[in-house]
Amino acid sequence: MQESLEYQTATSDVLKVISRSGAELEAVLDTLVKTAARLCDAQMAFIHRLDDGVYRPAAVLGFSSEFTAYLEAHPLAPGRGSIAGRVALEGRAIHIPDVAADPEYKLSQSIVMAKQRTALGVPLLRDEPIGVIVLARQRVQSFTEKEIGLVTTFADQAVIAMENARLITEAREALEQQTATAEVLQVINSSPGDLMPVFDAMLDRAMRLCGAAFGELAIIEGGQPRTVTTRGVPAAFAKFRSRYRASPLPGSITARVFAGEPVIHTIDAADSDLYREGEPHRRAMVDLGGARTSLAVTLMKDRDVLGAIHVYRQEVRPFTEKQIALLQNFAAQAVIAMENARLLNEIRQRQAELRVTFDNMVDGVAMFDGELRLAAWNRNFQELFDLADDFLAERRGFDEHVRYLTERGEFGETTPRPKSVA
């Protein structure tokens, strides 16, 4: 009864930690391994999480720092050579009374570095294994059925905690991305024809949401790329970029942007043929900028390349599909902003040309739009009727102009007819 009460209390305590932690998964997993190890009389425990096909340590208790560092550098793949790998392979609880006596067990580092002998592994299941909880003893002593059942309960709780954290994180990321998109759209709306505030806001949000160390946004002018805004670019790399004028080599990021490749995701810039062959820009990017993983998204309208957004990380850490989609969304907004600015500039230029034409006419000329409101006029029109700037600035209707001029006596001693009521 005492043992059962202790198990129930521990389970309840873990559930309380899960309910309080939300997206803070680390605290939950640490509590799980500590509680499971204490109740099962195990000196050591691990929780491994699935990450890109391999299982990496997410929580650790009692294992030597040397062995933990080894596992971080050599994550475990599904297979029979380790307790975690075997659990992941079979999708069920695995109990090895003595790993040193198991002919299939190949992870000798756990024996040499951590003195592991008896091991128990239980899968964290969500359709397929998404993790493994491992308990280990430095002596040969099998785990009991009750202990295996308890660890299975803790594994189910770990899945609940991981799912909660995932859902909360996804909701938070979606909200952040929607907010950033809305902010950029607001800048576009408030800066018609002025692209610099748009580019600055876009790069700021892109770097923050993509977890990038530095970034740049470039546009194509006269067939050549021109960087229009940067954030956090290391000084040595920026200095190199300002002086480097060679044409981009085939296979380089710039060449691929010019070719219209929509997304260029470089997982490790140092592990590439261009770097090994000493291509100057790739060498400077890594050696001077410290860049390892980078993501470039091309700005395109129809088949025309307009520029690119390029963000960098100074560690090897691939960008997620969501981050790539976010950068593509920003690129699409940049293209819209650039097209809007182009059209607005064309309109302004035509208006300026029309103004010059109007102002050089001898007669007084005024233009009214489809709603019969004043749209344009020349100086002679204003001077002929002696109209104040304030009066013209309000873009009055045609009937208001006629009434105003009639009241001033421009058409003789005539009383204006009252406005008809529809």
pLDDT confidence tier of residue 20, bands split at 50, 70 and 90: low
Least confident of 234-238, 269-273, 383-387: 383-387
Query: What contacts 160, CB < 8 A, 6 or more positions away?
Result: 18
CA–CA gap between residue 255 and residue 263 (Å, rounded): 13
Cβ-in-10-Å burial (0-12, 13-18, 19+) of 265 comes to: middle
DSSP 223-283: TEEEEEEEES--HHHHHHHHH--PPPPTTSHHHHHHTT-SEEEES-TTSSHHHHTT-HHHH
| pLDDT reported for residue 193 | 72
Name, in order, each residue with C-beta under 8 angstroms of 150's C-beta and a sequence gap of 6 or more.
7, 36, 39, 40
Q: What pLDDT, in 10s, does the model give residues 204-232?
A: 999 998 999 999 999 988 888 889 999 99
pLDDT band per the 50, 70, 90 thresholds, residue 418:
low
pLDDT tens by residue, 361-373: 777 888 888 888 8
Domains of the chain are 2-168 (3.30.450.40), 191-342 (3.30.450.40), 361-407 (no CATH)
| Per-residue pLDDT at 368 | 86
Q: What number of other Cβ atoms are within 10 A of residue 141's Cβ?
A: 13
pTM over 0.95: no
Selection from 126, 83, 84 nearest residue 105 by Cα: 83
CB-based contact 339:219 (threshold 8 Å): no
pLDDT at residue 23 greater than cutoff 60: no
pLDDT tens figures, 270-285: 998 889 888 888 999 9
**Residue 119, pLDDT score:** 95
Q: Which residue has the tokens 């500590």?
A: 34
What is the chain's mean pLDDT, rounded?
85
The pLDDT, as a whole number, for residue 377 is 81
- Cross-strand partners of 220: 225
- Strand runs labelled E in 7-105: 44-51, 54-61, 94-96
DSSP letters of 395-406?
--BHHHHHHHHH
54 vs 172 pLDDT, higher one: 54
Amino acid type, 281: H
Q: What is the SS3 assignment for 340-358?
A: HHHHHHHHHHHHHHHHHHH
Where is average pLDDT lowest: 35-39, 186-190, 204-208, 224-228?
186-190
H or E stretch at 126: strand 118-126
CB contact at 8 A, 45 and 134:
yes
CA–CA gap between residue 32 and residue 223 (Å, rounded): 59
388 pLDDT band (50/70/90 cuts)?
confident
pLDDT at 96 over 80: yes
Instruction: Pull the structure tokens for residue 147.
Output: 């202990």
Structure tokens at 396: 């009055």
Residue 122 has what pLDDT? 94
Distance CA 300, CA 237 (A): 27
In the chain, % helix, strand, coil (3-state, to 5) comes to 50, 20, 30
pLDDT band for 251, please (50, 70, 90 cuts).
Answer: confident
Neighbouring residues of 43: CB distance < 8 A, sequence distance ≥ 6: 37, 62, 136, 137, 138
- Quote the percentage of the chain above a pLDDT of 90: 41
Any idea how long the chain is? 422
pLDDT of residue 72: 92
Is residue 10 very low, low, confident or very high in pLDDT (cuts 50, 70, 90)?
low
Q: What is the pLDDT of residue 19?
A: 56
Q: Kindly state the average pLDDT of the residues 406-417.
A: 73
What CA–CA distances, in Å, run from 170 to 21, 163, 302, 326?
A: 16, 10, 32, 14
Tell me, what's the pLDDT at 421? 46
Which tokens belong to 319? Answer: 């960008």
Segment 122-149 shows an average pLDDT of 92
pLDDT band at 188 (very low <50, low <70, confident <90, very high): confident
Burial class (CB in 10 A: 0-12, 13-18, 19+), 249: middle
Question: pLDDT band at 242, cuts 50/70/90?
Answer: confident
Q: What is the mean pLDDT of residues 261-272?
A: 94
The answer to whether residue 174 scores a pLDDT higher than 80 is no
Contacts of 302 (CB under 8 A, 6+ apart): none
